[in-house]
Structure 1
Amino acid sequence: MNYDTFVDQVAQRTGLDPDRAVQLIHATLRTLAERLTGGEVLDLAAQLPDPLRLALRTGPDDEAAERFDAREFGARVGERADADEATARAAARAVLTTLREAVTGDEFDDVVTQLPRDYRDLVEPAMSPGVGLRRA
């Protein structure tokens, strides 16, 4: 999936304009990168278009995943994108759903495996059959 399609799908899923969607995509991916091991971040980044890879950029000391719950995940996304909690959580769900469509199923499964159960609300919509974007 190319960058413009990724942005368009997140914008459509959230009902936000593309510029706002980009802010929330980057905030979500940056937060996800903190929650995943460094090797998994690199594997995920390898399947995304260049502008999205930048959001997943990690440092040399970022091999270990930070441990934080889904509530903290939403708070970090909201803080990074200057968004309220509901908007941040909705955007995170939209980004994860679009991410599932953009990468291989095995890669998405590897990402989900690293997230604890309390992330279910964010991840399950992406795992549901028929989550593809409906076009009029």
Structure 2
Amino acid sequence: MDHHTFVVRVARLSGTAEDRAATLTAATLETLAERLTGGEALDLAAQLPKPLWGMLDPHPGTEAAERFGAAEFVARVARRADCDENTARGAARAVFTTLREAISGGEFSDVVVQLPRDYRDMVEPALAPAATRRR
């Protein structure tokens, strides 16, 4: 999946314009990079289009993942994208679904296993049968 297709898919799933979806995608991926171990963020980036790689640089460049729950994840996305938390939550769901379609199933599982149970609301739509990969 190329960058444009990724953003268009997020826009469609989140019900936003493409330029807004690009901002929401960046905010979600940057926040996800903070929540993943550095190695996992790099593994994920390797399967995405190059324009998305920089958003997944480990923060602050260490292997350790920050530990925060889904509410904090949504709050960080909202701050980064300058939107309300409902919009941020919907965008995160759209990004997770698009990630599931864009990367290998094994890599998506590697990402999901690093997220605690309270992320289910955002991640489970990506695991539903309708969220098929289009690689």
TM-based fold match above 0.5: yes
Q: Which runs of 5+ in 1 are unaligned?
A: none
Q: 1:98-125 CA deviation, whole Å, 9 max, x = no partner?
A: 0000000000000000000000000000
Q: Which runs of 5+ in 2 are unaligned?
A: none
Aligned equivalent of 2:96 = 96
Aligned equivalent of 1:130 = 130
> Which segments of structure 1 move beyond 2 Å, counting only runs of 4 or more?
58-62
Secondary structure at the residue paired with 2:130? coil
Q: Is the 8 A contact 2:33 2:58 kept in 1?
A: yes
Question: How many angstroms apart in 2 are the aligned matches of 1:114 and 1:39?
Answer: 12
Q: Which amino acid aligns with 2:93?
A: R
Alignment: residue pair count = 133
Aligned equivalent of 2:82 = 82
**CA RMSD in angstroms, aligned pairs only:** 1.3
Question: How many angstroms apart in 1 are the aligned matches of 2:40 and 2:62?
Answer: 11
Aligned equivalent of 1:64 = 64
Aligned equivalent of 1:28 = 28
Q: Is the 8 A contact 2:33 2:59 kept in 1?
A: no
TM-score normalised by the chain length of structure 2:
0.95
Aligned equivalent of 2:73 = 73
Q: 1:47-82 CA deviation, whole Å, 9 max, x = no partner?
A: 000111111112564210000000000000000000
Aligned equivalent of 1:49 = 49
Q: Which amino acid aligns with 1:99?
A: L
Question: How many angstroms apart in 2 are the aligned matches of 1:114 and 1:58?
Answer: 14
Q: 1:18-70 CA deviation, whole Å, 9 max, x = no partner?
A: 00000000000000000000000010000000111111112564210000000
Question: How many angstroms apart in 2 are the aligned matches of 1:30 and 1:60?
Answer: 11
Q: Is the 8 A contact 2:37 2:58 kept in 1?
A: no
Question: How many angstroms apart in 2 are the aligned matches of 1:123 and 1:59?
Answer: 22
% same residue: 65
Q: Which amino acid aligns with 1:118?
A: D
Secondary structure at the residue paired with 1:87? helix
